[in-house]
Structure 1
């Protein structure tokens, strides 16, 4: 289940809420009882199983439809 991060505008507490994606926009009360909260934008990192041990290869440089190898 996705986790969403919120911040309370009254006390500046940051907290997380687990909820289905269908309820991602629903309001979330602050754990201290305030209702004036805002959902924070989160960055998502998705990595494969070997991403920590094996560095990624650089993307090929060039242009055109064939990477610059055969386009005049």
Structure 2
């Protein structure tokens, strides 16, 4: 279940709630009981695609060092 971060506009406390995605926009009361809260945008990526990497990596193999 995803976690969402909220901030209370009354006491300026930040808190997290685990709730289904379908309820992500539902109102959330802060732990102190205030109802004036706002959902914060998360900086953590949950999904998506990564660009494929190119190259062979590794190192070594410079040239004939041993004769």
Q: TM-score, normalising length from structure 1?
A: 0.61
- 2:41 is aligned to 41
**Count, aligned residues:** 49
Q: TM-score, normalising length from structure 2?
A: 0.65
Unpaired runs of 5+ in structure 2?
Answer: 47-52, 56-67
Superposed, 1:20-31 pairs within 5 Å as 20-31=20-31
Unpaired runs of 5+ in structure 1?
Answer: 47-55, 59-72
Root mean square deviation of aligned Cα: 1.8
The higher relative CO (CA closer than 8 Å, separation ≥ 6) is in 2
Regions of 4+ moved over 3 Å: none
